[in-house]
Amino acid sequence: NTDLPGGWCKRPPLCCRCRPTHGDLSGLGESVSVVLMGIALQVCHAACNGELYSRPFIESFEETPMLLAVLTYMSYGILTIFGYLRDFMREWKIEKCHTAREREEQKDFVPLYQDFENFYTRNIYMRIRDSWNRPICSVPGATFDLVECSSNDYNWTFEYTGRVVKDVINLGSYNYLGFAENTGACATAAGEVTVKFGVGVASTRQEMGNLDRHEELEKLAASFLGVESAMVFGMGFATNSMNIPALVGKGCLILSDELNHASLVLGARLSSSTIRVFKHNNMQSLEKLLRDAIVHGQPRTHRPWKKILILMEGIYSMEGSIIRLPEVIALKKKYKAYLYLDEAHSIGALGLNGRGVVEYFGLDPKDVDVMMGTFTKSFSAAGGYVGGRKDLIDYLRTHSHSAIYATTMSLPVVEQILTSMKCIMGKDGTTIGLSRIQRLAENTVYFRRRLQEMGFIIYGNNDSPVVPMMLYMPAKLGAFGREMLKRNIGVVGVGFPATPIIESRARFCISAAHTKEMLDRALDVISEVGDLLHLKYSRHKVLPSLDRPFDETTYEENEE
Amino acid sequence: MALGDAWKQLSWFYYQYVLVTALYMLEPWERTIFNSLLITVAAMAVYTCYVFMPQHIMAILHYFEVVQ
């Protein structure tokens, strides 16, 4: 049936107007059914995205229930009132002040600690602070050991109780392929190199920090990504913030997604280009900005922009959404802009061979102008890379701030990346890498499906190993972390400055090191805590991701 | 047995109330202040109902000409 005219409609059934016809043509005669199928396909081909996507792109962000939003605002209101009360008591010395304050001589200066962020930290974050900054005393693999802490003065100070909580299931580390281990080929290789070369490099890349292992790593990274050339840096955050200023400057335009990571935002601001923000993963917003930029040019002189750079990430870690790469590349080619893709979370985690989001969509790596990524997540090392054409990387070698001023990657880390990358590519002769990638994909699909069946609100794409689960209320954020730790599971809760104030969430990171028993245990515990805290908010009004923005005609599609 | 179940159910409801109003994050004396304020306001509402409800019901019935 796949060689009918117009191609086979590959949109998921919920979005496709031709869903009712797929099943009930079995009883009709063959010629009639072919004709009807042809008509139906012509109908649904117009509503589909054409041939851009080869598999259904199922991404959902369920809307916040109105009652929950009202209750969350009410709880923040109560916390704010009590925050004002405590600030009053601290000001009038009724209560001892544990936070930073200005000195007596500086009381007439511009106040330092009166903005909302400091108020929030003093009065809301401090009360549930024991769910963060917990000290770990083992390798953060699939399980870890936690040093137990307790607080006598409501989280202002902590003491060690002396006990260690053993074998806490780790749902928070970015350990996607399970390479965070202290045994195995990677650890042995890193140990040998430490004995031979030491740990520190003690120089920058352009002075004496360029070792042959770095060049080997760069060649391997370039062949892993499918690009001509690559360059590695010692710190992932610094890769973004130090290289974007080297690529764009005054007179250039940066189009940045609204939910970009702080390193991309910092790099864009440091470059002193004009920055315009488009709505998250919204191709209509991006196209409108591109058209406006090309038609109107620079703000006052109307000269054409020197360069237009689109900054996007492969997987957004707070939402779990995957970039719509085929559409971005089509737009980029149409309007002659450049694309900077930050694959921090998606390299190694997506794609059949772990080559990232470009392989996941089956596209050509040469279409992405600057492919950046980090080794922190799937390779369990530290540092970042930038890959692209040879002349681009040669330019970066001389002009990047990180190459001139920052120390290079230390050799044990280089060795860890080399070994893990060879393992993923299969160059060490085993199939460990491929089996880990497959296990990660299975774990992701299983975990997401079970959580959605239980009735939690889960954001993001069905294939992303980052699973944000919505909690909304600040008290539930603190309670969730504590209750999960009581039952020996470590999770990461995310609250205000990283997310919008009412949308606090717990973010699970699935790993290939998790066995099915661990995931089942974790899911049972999450269900139990979800019942205890009443977290199963989903009303299964999952809106399928549309290929055009919400306008009058989308009501007809949703009526099915 | 039934009393134990009822007590468990009540304490789960109290836990939900404490989570939704963010009292979970407050110190015990702050919880006491908030609960006392809430109970005072609720008690005043109940007392007002008790004192004025007969007059209000008579006025409604008089308006709808059910009673003279």
pLDDT in tens, A228-242: 999 999 999 999 999
- Among A73, A75, A90, A123, the strongest candidate for a mutation testing the B interface, having the largest count of B CBs within 10 A, is A75
Could you tell me the pLDDT band of residue A225, with boundaries at 50, 70 and 90? Answer: very high
- The rounded distance, in Å, linking the Cα atoms of A116 and A102 is 17
Beta strands per DSSP E along A324-475: 338-342, 370-374, 384-388, 460-461, 466-470
Mean predicted confidence (pLDDT) in A137-159 = 93
Radius of gyration (Cα) for chain B, nearest Å?
Answer: 19
For the stretch A198-215, pLDDT in tens is 998 889 988 888 999 999
Asked if the Cβ–Cβ distance from A475 to B27 is below 8 Å, we say no
Nearest by CB to residue A478, choosing from B20, B24, B27, is B24
CB A391 within 8 A of CB A400: no
pLDDT value, residue A488? 94
Nearest by CB to residue B22, choosing from A79, A532, A534, is A79
Beta strands per DSSP E along A211-300: 229-233, 253-257, 274-278
| Region of poorest pLDDT, from A102-106, A171-175, B43-47 | A102-106
Secondary structure class of A164 (helix, strand, coil): strand
Mean predicted confidence (pLDDT) in A119-141 = 92
- Rounded to an integer, what is the distance from CA A322 to the centroid of its chain? 8
With residue A146 as reference, give the H or E element that holds it: strand A143-150
Helices then strands, each counted (H, E), chain A: 18, 17
- The rounded distance, in Å, linking the Cα atoms of A210 and A236 is 18
- Among B12, B16, B24, B38, the strongest candidate for a mutation testing the A interface, having the largest count of A CBs within 10 A, is B24
pLDDT value, residue A49? 53
Q: How far is A557 from chain B (nearest CA, A)?
A: 36
pLDDT value, residue A9? 39
Secondary structure class of A169 (helix, strand, coil): strand
With residue A507 as reference, give the H or E element that holds it: strand A505-509
Q: Is B27 on the interface with A (CB under 8 A)?
A: yes
Residue type, position A247, single letter = L
Beta strands per DSSP E along A370-415: 370-374, 384-388
- Structural domains in chain A plus CATH codes: 66-130 (no CATH), 132-177+432-533 (3.90.1150.10), 185-425 (3.40.640.10)
Q: How far is A128 from chain B (nearest CA, A)?
A: 7
Q: What is the helix, strand, coil percentage profile of chain A, to 5?
A: 45, 15, 40
Asked if the Cβ–Cβ distance from A473 to B26 is below 8 Å, we say no
- Rounded to an integer, what is the distance from CA A80 to the centroid of its chain? 31
pLDDT value, residue A541? 55
Residue A148: pLDDT over 50? yes
For the stretch A8-40, pLDDT in tens is 334 443 333 333 333 343 444 444 444 444 443
pLDDT value, residue A379? 92
Contacts of A74 in chain B (CB under 8 A): 20-21
Asked if the Cβ–Cβ distance from B19 to A128 is below 8 Å, we say no
pLDDT value, residue A555? 53
- The rounded distance, in Å, linking the Cα atoms of A411 and A197 is 7
- Among A78, A81, A126, the strongest candidate for a mutation testing the B interface, having the largest count of B CBs within 10 A, is A78
* Minimal-distance CA residue of chain A relative to B16: A533
Asked if the Cβ–Cβ distance from A473 to B25 is below 8 Å, we say no
Radius of gyration (Cα) for chain A, nearest Å?
Answer: 26
- The rounded distance, in Å, linking the Cα atoms of A100 and A37 is 71
Quote the pTM value.
Answer: 0.84
Mean predicted confidence (pLDDT) in A459-464 = 91
CB A49 within 8 A of CB A547: yes
More confident residue, A512 or A559: A512
Report CA torsion sign: B43, B47, B48, B50.
Answer: positive
CB A132 within 8 A of CB A155: no
Asked if the Cβ–Cβ distance from B21 to A78 is below 8 Å, we say yes
Q: How many domains does chain B have?
A: 1
Contacts of A155 in chain B (CB under 8 A): none
pLDDT value, residue A519? 95
Query: Rounded to 5 degrees, what are φ and ψ at A140?
Result: -80, 70
For A98-113, the DSSP string reads: -S----GGGTTS--SS
Contacts of A532 in chain B (CB under 8 A): 12, 15
Domain that holds residue B47: 1-64
Asked if the Cβ–Cβ distance from A154 to B27 is below 8 Å, we say yes
Query: Rounded to 5 degrees, what are φ and ψ at A118?
Result: -70, -35
CB A252 within 8 A of CB A273: yes
CB B19 within 8 A of CB A479: yes
Contacts of B15 in chain A (CB under 8 A): 532
pLDDT value, residue A497? 87
* Minimal-distance CA residue of chain A relative to B8: A532
Residue A157: pLDDT over 70? yes
pLDDT value, residue A302? 93
Question: If interface means Cβ-Cβ distance under 8 Å, which residues of chain A face chain B?
Answer: 71, 74-76, 78-79, 82, 85, 124, 127-128, 154, 473-476, 478-479, 532-534
Residue A551: pLDDT over 80? no
CB A401 within 8 A of CB A242: yes
Q: Is B26 on the interface with A (CB under 8 A)?
A: yes
* Minimal-distance CA residue of chain A relative to B19: A475
- The rounded distance, in Å, linking the Cα atoms of A529 and A535 is 8
* Minimal-distance CA residue of chain A relative to B11: A532
- The rounded distance, in Å, linking the Cα atoms of A392 and A212 is 21
Contacts of B12 in chain A (CB under 8 A): 532
Asked if the Cβ–Cβ distance from B25 to A533 is below 8 Å, we say no
Dihedral through CA A170, CA A125, CA B27, CA A469, nearest 10?
-50
Six-digit token string for A309: 């750079």
For the stretch A330-389, pLDDT in tens is 999 999 999 999 999 999 999 999 999 999 999 999 999 999 999 999 999 999 999 999
CB A376 within 8 A of CB A382: yes
Provide ipTM, 2 decimals: 0.89
- Pairing of the two strands A308-313 and A253-257: parallel
Mean predicted confidence (pLDDT) in A270-286 = 94
For the stretch A303-330, pLDDT in tens is 999 999 999 999 999 999 999 999 999 9
Report CA torsion sign: A286, A291, A292, A293.
Answer: positive
Contacts of B30 in chain A (CB under 8 A): 82, 85
A174: nearest Cα among A338, A1, A347, A378: A378
Beta strands per DSSP E along A15-79: 59-60
Percentage of chain A modeled with pLDDT above 90: 72
Strand partners, A536: none
* Minimal-distance CA residue of chain B relative to A473: B20
A259: nearest Cα among A309, A338, A314: A314
A381: nearest Cα among A407, A415, A348, A357: A415
Nearest by CB to residue A71, choosing from B20, B23, B27, is B20
Mean predicted confidence (pLDDT) in A164-191 = 92
Mean predicted confidence (pLDDT) in A470-485 = 94
Angle at A222 between CA A241 and CA A420, to 5 degrees: 90
- Mean predicted lDDT score pLDDT of chain A: 86
- Pairing of the two strands A143-150 and A159-170: antiparallel
Asked if the Cβ–Cβ distance from A78 to B22 is below 8 Å, we say yes
Secondary structure class of A63 (helix, strand, coil): coil
Beta strands per DSSP E along A179-270: 229-233, 253-257
Q: Is B11 on the interface with A (CB under 8 A)?
A: no
CB A337 within 8 A of CB A330: no
CB A279 within 8 A of CB A324: no
Query: Rounded to 5 degrees, what are φ and ψ at A167?
Result: 55, 55
Residue A58: pLDDT over 90? no
pLDDT value, residue A38? 40
Residue A466: pLDDT over 80? yes
